[in-house]
Structure 1
Amino acid sequence: MNRKVIYIGLAGIAGLFLGWLIFGKSDERANSSAEVHEHKLEGQQMWTCSMHPQIMQPEPGDCPICGMELIPANMDEEGLAMNEIKMTKNAMALANISTTVIGDGKDDGSMTDISLSGRIKVNEEEQMVQASYFDGRLERLNVSYEGQDVKRGQLLATIYAPDLVAAQQELLSSLSLRESQPALYKAVRNKLKLWKLTENQINTIEKTGEVKEYFPIYATVSGTVLEKMVSEGDYVKQGEPLLKLIDLSSVWVEFDVYENQISSLEKGEKITLTTKAYPNKSFKATITFIDPILNESTRTVVVRATLNNRDGIFKPGMFVKGNVESLKDKEDAVPESVMIPASAVMWTGERSVVYLKVNGDTPVFRMKEVDLGGRNGDMFVVNSGLQKGDEVVTNGTFTVDAAAQLQGKKSMMNQNQEEEISSSEIGNMKMVLSDSFKKEFKSVLPSYFNIKNALVLGSATEVSEYAKDLLESLVSINESDLNDIGKSHFSIIIDLAEDMSNSKDLKYQRDIFIALNENIVPIIMNIGKMDNLVYIQKCPMANKNKGAYWLSMEKEIKNPYYGDQMLTCGSIIDSIQ
């Protein structure tokens, strides 16, 4: 009996041990596998905010904007978030896409380069006026046009002067009293001298005894005619300006400098100048004036340098680029803001976005909204959204955005419905546009309309050629008078025109045309008055049924986004007189 109990006990122990070997190890392996799988998922999972989907965090927590609890972000089959795009290295090489790791803009704290845009202006200190020294009627004017060079002593005009006729008669009458009343005689002669008659002219009158009705006016200064203020046959008063002259042997070059650059510039600093007129030359000038008053509309001050122009190579109105090496003591050096190249920035309405490289080893990019400050040459100051060490796309940004659109991801041309820009919102994008910029920008519209018509016809080759014409016209425009919003739109237009000129893919060109209009239309609406009536038209089906704009000189709808497929799809939503 005792043996049976012992055997049963041993058998039970053996069964328990065997069951543990079979099932216990399996559970352990399953638990281990589940744990490994869970860790794997955690390594790929990202967390976002339901109200602010641009927020992506590697772990759960609260939204830094609104404080709401983060939720798991939807990931695709490659482990990418909804607003992330992955490109192959081969595709990046073919599209010439490059990235830049951004820093704080400092070298060693001792030197910073400041790039400026400006234009040549007349030296107002060298302006002069040639006036008439007696009343009369201009019988002949020898200066025919503005820009004509005048030398001192040159005959400018012939004038009929009744008062001068009377003064000559007084002179001839006083000749007989020269001995008895020398003071009277001398006073009459001085009166004629005050009217700028020379000693030889006065002596000739005395010798011949003839009164002249017409007298010449000689130039008392030398210079270039800036303004012709009278015409032949005009009656002029004593002291009335006839010509405005300027000495162009020295000229001014003026730059618009943003607030964040003012502290880096001082009077006496050297500035290196380059101009498209002489692309292989550089010129030196010295800063002579910094405007003490800030322009509140553009948030800039005028910085002026005086330039030697004895050879006459600089023409007022010419655009120039300036570069200043600003040397500061290390003790006084103030760290600058994070800066990024302008080529990295895209604009959607008044928002600015960049493409951030998520992983340094893998070409995965994410659209990131940034808040920009002032512009320094080809660089933007970043107020928020990026930090030192972030890597952003700086060449081929639009190509990355197009790839995001093709993959169905969020892109500049594929915004959510609530982010669409209405025509009224486009008109509310306030820009500071100078009269010269308005005039120059309107001159590029013929090239734009050629592009639109070529898209209607579906000719990718013609689109590319007209885009080259548009690009050539754009790069000759001076954008220094624009505010930040205007400059950013203008810079994007140039980049898009270049992309369009390099492409022969009609579909890609039409995608670019969507973004091109999102930047051109706001500028046109801020310009306002056109030389001819311009219609703003919209196709509701373009841009994946979100709608897209274009400009037209014709009231008839001819859709550039679909051509013959849906030629008349669209409507007029606004017009500019």
Structure 2
Amino acid sequence: MKKYVIYLGILAVGLILGWLLFGGSINKEASHNHDEVSEGNTMWTCSMHPQVMKPESGDCPICGMDLIPAEANTDGLEVNQFKMTENAMALANIETTTIGVGESSANQLTLSGKIQTNDKSSAIQTAHFGGRIEVLNFKSKGEFVNHGDVIASIYSPELVTAQNELIEAMDIKNEQPELYKAVRNKLKFWKISEQQIERLEQTKKVITNFKMYANTKGYIEAIFVEEGNHVKEGTPLFKVTNLNTVWAQLDAYEQDVKSLSLGQTILITVNAFPDKNIEGKIDYISPTFNDKTRTIPVRATLNNPTETLKPGMLISATTNLKSNDKEVVLSIPKSAVLWTGERSIVYVKVPNESPVFELREIALSNAVGENYKVLNGLEEGEEIVSNGTFTIDAAAQLNGKQSMMNRVILNDEDSSKTIERLKVSTTFQEQLKTVVESYLVLKDYLVSDDASNTGKQAKIVLDNLDNVDMTLLVDNSAHMQWMELLNNIKTAANSLSEETDIASQRKYFKPLSSNITKTVELFGINQAVYSQFCPMADDDKGAYWLSLSNEIRNPYFGDAMLKCGSVEKIIK
């Protein structure tokens, strides 16, 4: 009996000790786990499309896959925030600016445009007489023609007949001086020089091919004929322009035209010579309105005696308006703004121990010098990225965060939204298309695990980039965005071309693809391409690429995982 009592006592003591040692922690752990589950169920995402964030479970609005609970963010960051290290910021040359309130003159306006030839100083060189062009001495645009230069040698049946008439009239000039004078003047009317006529009278030999001399001066802007063409008297041969004066052609938005007038002084800055300011006066405001660009052409005539101002150069101009009122405004550097059609985007640095950034959509007013006035979206004292904005945007996209191209999808309606691209010329788009085509060939070499040809193709991408004419971008914001994209693409392509190892090449292919994709999104290439994504690339961080087909052929793994990935969207 005593034995059982002892056993029961030992058991009771063990239970009490167990409750004291583990009972409290079990309850705490259960409570803690309950809290974690409660917190973990707040947001749901897609394993293939991490930009999708929804408050409840369901299907992905892009691919239809079941949503999974989003991982808890131990840093306490919001959906549209992401973190960068100090080293990454230094390597990417990221600079920030604190926004301050200043007293801005409300009577200053900034216009953008380019240098154009002065049509009033242009002239057409015509044929002085009819015939067949045997030799044409000026055949290329841009050649300079001086007054009196021999421009062509022409065989003219009419001139042959007129020469024979002069030779015959010489024999009877004493009897019929008026006839002789009339025949001689006939040749002069065709701009045959006195020396040529005297030579004919001395030799009495008919000249079959007459030299034609220029009666205009300037650079050839257009050529209308070729050797062997038959021309009539007065037929245009080429157009020349004189660059002693040029036009500063500017675009004024409709809301600003009311504040402009003829004779108004403007201060012009040429992108090629940023330290030089040129003063001019508005001498023309177009009576017609361009409903596509929502602008009205305005121009000023500039003296250009040294011909340093070349047609096509990009310019900006500032002018003081009539109002003298001052207003207190927020202003930010132009380099801080990303444009996506109707949207203006900046990246704000969030107060944190480590660098944390979030995307912010803002509303802007007119440009004032190198700054934009902010209407809303920012507050005094906030810190924004002022240099390296595209790099920050690329980092956000690669982290599956909200970015210029990659808006975080919070509901099904958001998934159908697309970015309105910048308006550029078809010629510029075709040049970009050549760059994209060479990029696609490079992508196919990576798919085939061909490191040798991948490096060679990267150099072709660089060559095609050099052929893109930046002067076609008249809009300054488009020009600035292309310059930063161009620098990022060249950096990635250069690094890729120098690597011989396929793994290293694929590392640089990721930023190359990111910036090429941004280029297509912003400017367009008049062709549909597929944006595709592999969640396992770059050590499971995920990476994008472009393709002409919806078939998945993964450039980050090649044959090892050829079909890994999905189509994110179609860029048209």
TM range (shorter): 0.5 to 0.7
Contact in 2 for aligned 1:115/1:376 (Cα 8 Å): no
Residue 471 of structure 2 is matched in structure 1 by: 478
Partner SS state of residue 324, structure 2: coil
For structure 1, which segment, 342-351 or 217-226, has the greater mean C-alpha deviation from structure 2 after superposition? 342-351
Q: 1:214 to 1:395 in 2, by over 3 A?
A: closer
Contact conserved, 1:117 with 1:321, CA < 8 A, in 2?
yes
Aligned mates of 1:152, 1:253 — CA distance in 2? 27
Select 1:269's aligned residue among 262, 266, 269.
266
Q: Of the candidates 353, 373, 386, which is equivalent to residue 394 of structure 1?
A: 386
Q: Distance in 1 between matches of 2:425 and 2:224?
A: 26
Q: In structure 2, what is the equivalent of residue 286 of structure 1? A: 280
1:286 partner amino acid? G
Matched to 2:530, the amino acid is: I
Going from structure 1 to structure 2, the CA distance change for 1:162 and 1:367 (only over 3 Å counts) comes to closer
Q: 1:15 aligns to what?
A: none
Matched, 1:416 2:413: no
Secondary structure at the residue paired with 2:234?
coil
165, 186, 195: which one pairs with 1:191? 186
Q: Aligned to 1:368, which of 338, 341, 360?
A: 360
Aligned partner of 1:52 in structure 2 is none
Per the alignment, do residues 352 and 126 of structure 1 end up closer, same or farther by CA in structure 2, a change over 3 Å counting? closer
Q: Is the CA contact 1:291–1:303 (under 8 Å) kept in the aligned structure 2?
A: yes
SS of aligned partner of 2:238 = strand
> Contact between 1:249 and 1:312, CA under 8 Å: does it hold in 2?
yes
Q: Deviations over 1:310-349 (max 9, x none)?
A: 44545444x3444x454567x6246487543344344678
1:248 pairs with 243, 248, 252, which one?
Answer: 243
Which of 558, 562, 570 aligns to 1:567? It is: 562
- Contact 1:256 / 1:481 at 8 angstroms: preserved in 2? no
Checking the alignment, whether the CA contact within 8 Å between 2:103 and 2:326 is kept in structure 1 is no
**Distance change in 2, residues 1:471/1:193 (3 Å):** closer
Q: What is the CA-CA distance between 1:357 and the residue it aligns to?
A: 4.5
TM-score (norm 2): 0.65
Question: In structure 1, what is the Cα distance between the partners aligned to 2:537 and 2:101?
Answer: 37
Asked if 2 retains the 8 angstrom alpha-carbon contact of 1:401 and 1:411, the reply is yes
Would you say the 8 A contact 1:417–1:546 is kept in 2? Answer: no
Q: Corresponding residue for 2:131?
A: 136
Pairing of 1:438-449 with structure 2 (within 5 A): 438-445=429-436, 448-449=439-440
CA distance in 1, matches of 2:76, 2:278: 56
Cα deviation for residue 373 of structure 1 reads: 5.4
CA offset digits 1:282-301 (Å, max 9, x no partner): 36353454442443222334
| Residues 341/358 of structure 1: CA separation in 2 closer, same or farther (3 Å cut) | same
Structure 1 unmatched runs, 5+: 1-74
Letter in 2 for 1:429: E
Report the residue type matching 1:522 in the other structure: E
Q: TM-score, normalised by structure 1?
A: 0.65
Change (3 A) 1:100 1:527: same
Quick check: 2:172–2:180 contact (8 Å CA) kept in 1? yes
2:530 to 521, 531, 536: 536
Given candidates 219, 225, 229, the residue that maps to 1:224 is 219
Q: CA deviation at 1:451?
A: 6.8
Give yes or no for the alignment of 1:522 onto 2:516: no
Q: Deviations over 1:405-434 (max 9, x none)?
A: 798865565722647987x865x8354221
Is 402-411 or 147-156 further displaced after alignment?
A: 402-411
Equivalences for residues 89-488 of structure 1 within 5 A: 97-103=94-100, 106-107=103-104, 109=105, 114=110, 116=112, 118=114, 120-175=115-170, 178=173, 181-259=176-254, 263=259, 267-275=264-272, 282=276, 284=278, 286-292=280-286, 293-317=288-312, 319-322=313-316, 324=317, 326-327=319-320, 332-333=324-325, 335=327, 338-346=330-338, 351-357=343-349, 365-372=357-364, 379-397=371-389, 413=406, 415-416=408-409, 418=411, 429=420, 431-445=422-436, 448-449=439-440, 452=443, 469=462, 473=466, 477-478=470-471, 480-481=473-474
Task: Give me the whole-angstrom Cα distance separating, in 1, the residues matched to 2:141 and 2:569.
Answer: 42
In the alignment, which residue of structure 1 is the partner of 2:38?
A: none
Task: Output the CA distance in 2 between the equivalents of 1:104 and 1:494.
Answer: 33
- Distance of aligned partners of 1:541 and 1:440 in 2 relative to their CA distance in 1, 3 Å threshold: same
Query: Aligned in 2, Cα 1:177/1:341: closer, same or farther, shift over 3 Å?
Result: same
| CA deviation string 1:41-96 (max 9, x = no partner) | xxxxxxxxxxxxxxxxxxxxxxxxxxxxxxxxxx9777665545577878766765
Name the residue aligned to 1:43: none
User: Is the CA contact (8 Å cut-off) linking 2:112 and 2:474 kept in structure 1?
Assistant: no
Alpha-carbon distance in 2 for matches of 1:489, 1:421: 25
CA–CA distance in 2 between the matches of 1:367 and 1:131?
A: 60
Identity of aligned residues (%): 37
State the Cα distance separating 1:239 from its structure 2 match: 0.8
With over 3 angstroms needed to count, the CA separation of the structure-2 counterparts of 1:198 and 1:308, relative to structure 1, is: same
Q: CA RMSD in A?
A: 5.2
Displacement of 1:302 after TM fit?
3.6
Task: Tell whether the 8 Å contact from 1:466 to 1:501 is kept in structure 2 after alignment.
Answer: yes
Moved more, 247-256 or 493-502: 493-502
Q: Structure 1, residues 139-174: CA drift from partner, whole Å, max 9, x if none?
A: 333334333332222222222222223333443444
Aligned residues of 1:256 and 1:480 also touching (Cα < 8 A)? no
What's the offset of the Cα at 1:241?
1.4
Q: Structure 2 vs 1, CA of residues 448 and 376 (structure 1 numbering), >3 Å: closer, same or farther?
A: farther
Q: Distance in 2 between matches of 1:300 and 1:543?
A: 46
Q: Is the 8 A contact 2:335 2:480 kept in 1?
A: no
Inter-CA distance 470–84: structure 2 relative to 1 (3 Å threshold): farther
* TM-aligned CA distance change 1:333 to 1:548, over 3 Å: farther
Gapped regions of structure 2 (runs ≥ 5): 1-71, 497-503
State the alpha-carbon separation in 2 of the partners of residues 217 and 535 from structure 1.
55
545-554 or 122-131, larger mean C-alpha shift = 545-554
**Structure 1 residue 211, shift from structure 2 partner:** 4.0
Task: Measure, in 1, the Cα distance between the counterparts of 2:328 and 2:487.
Answer: 27
How far apart are the structure 2 equivalents of 1:348 and 1:216?
Answer: 58
Query: 1:5 corresponds to which residue?
Result: none
Q: Distance in 2 between matches of 1:250 and 1:198?
A: 31
**Greater relative contact order, per chain length (Cα 8 Å cut-off, separation 6+):** 2
Q: Is the 8 A contact 2:530 2:570 kept in 1?
A: yes
SS at match of 1:444: helix
- Spell out the pairing of 1:36-75 with structure 2 (5 A cutoff): none
Q: Tell whether the 8 Å contact from 1:138 to 1:234 is kept in structure 2 after alignment.
A: yes
Instruction: State how far apart, in whole Å, the 2-side matches of 1:517 and 1:420 are.
Output: 27
- Give the AA of the match of 2:99: I
Q: 1:435 is aligned with what amino acid?
A: T
Distance 1:470 1:168, change over 3 A: closer
Q: What is the DSSP-based 3-state SS (H/G/I as helix, E as strand, rest coil) of the residue aligned with 2:470?
A: coil
Distance 2:530 2:183 in 1: 74
Shift of 1:240: 0.7
User: How big is each residue's C-alpha offset from its partner over 1:241-284, in whole Å with a ceiling of 9 and x where there is no partner?
Assistant: 12322233444443445456664796443423341xx78x7363
Distance in structure 1 (CA, Å) of the matches to 2:211 and 2:566: 67
Q: Distance in 2 between matches of 1:154 and 1:327?
A: 47
1:336/1:305 CA distance change after superposition, 3 Å: farther
Q: CA deviation at 1:231?
A: 2.3
Q: CA deviation at 1:522?
A: 2.9
Aligned equivalents of 1:572 and 1:88: distance in 2?
Answer: 31
Task: Give 1:555 shift.
Answer: 8.8
Distance 1:385 1:510, change over 3 A: farther
* Aligned 8 A contact 1:297 1:432 in 2: no
Cα separation, 2, equivalents of 1:572 and 1:138:
60
